[in-house]
Chains A and B, each alone.
Chain A
Amino acid sequence: DGGITQSPKYLFRKEGQNVTLSCEQNLNHDAMYWYRQDPGQGLRLIYYSQIVNDFQKGDIAEGYSVSREKKESFPLTVTSAQKNPTAFYLCASSNRVEAFFGQGTRLTVV
């Protein structure tokens, strides 16, 4: 959908390691979001950002961190403090008239 790209598609992490998930958009959207999705479940908001250099915690921010140094980019770091990080992570971006999702990153802790 549109020009929002997540990478990598699959990611494996050893316990105790931090990993960073990439999300880039070329849609000139001001807002970007990170969601976590567990099997058979809906979306849970981790963090969101409305403008550059500003972001807010969502419902499940513990163990995650983000940055928004550029409008196009909103990387998510899953830290070792996240006790159950294995999940499907979706990034989205929007303005006030459209919203698109990236293709997702499946993170597995091994």
Chain B
Amino acid sequence: GENVEQHPSTLSVQEGDSAVIKCTYSDSASNYFPWYKQELGKRPQLIIDIRSNVGEKKDQRIAVTLNKTAKHFSLHITETQPEDSAVYFCAASMGGQGFSFIFGKGTRLLVKP
């Protein structure tokens, strides 16, 4: 079936360093790729998204890149801060008869001060 793989499952970086989280998807009809941030005990919140007609999108310290040929997309966080510590989820829209979104399993990011 369709799938979204997310790596790594945990990531630890020093404050100020960059963090990269990668996802791959299987449905070639996918055309929308959101990223969510979940702080402890709270719901995942949408932080950035990208559509298939765009290769890169930036919003301050976060950016997302998309490679449709390779079917992978990545979240980049620069100049990481302790408040970036959270669980991050990727997702991909499904174009076929399957359910409309598949979520990655999540990456726990820890930013050490």
Contact = CB atoms under 8 A, between A and B. Distances in A.
Contact of A31 (B42, B101, B108): B101
Interface size of B as a range: 20 to 34
Contacts of B46: 1, 100
A7 to B, nearest CB: 13
B104 A94 contact: no
Interface of A: 1, 30-31, 33, 35, 40-45, 48, 50, 56, 88, 90, 92, 94-104, 106
A59 to B, nearest CB: 10
Given A95-B100, A96-B100, A101 B43 contact: yes
Interface stretch (B54-62, B72-80, B85-93): B85-93
B87 A42 contact: yes
A99 B43 contact: no
Contact of A42 (B9, B41, B42, B43): B9
A94 B45 contact: no
Nearest to B9: A42
A56 B2 CA distance: 14
Contacts of B44: 90, 101
B106 A41 contact: yes
Contacts of B43: 1, 90, 101-104
Interface string B1-35: 00000100100000000000000000000001010
Contacts of B107: 42
B99 A48 contact: yes
Given A1-B43, A42-B9, A43-B89, A101 B100 contact: no
A33 to B, nearest CB: 7
A40 B87 CA distance: 8
A94 B42 contact: no
22 contacts: A1-B45, A42-B9, A42-B104, A42-B107, A43-B89, A45-B103, A48-B99, A56-B99, A92-B101, A94-B100, A96-B93, A96-B94, A96-B95, A99-B34, A99-B103, A101-B36, A101-B45, A102-B43, A103-B43, A104-B41, A104-B43, A106-B41
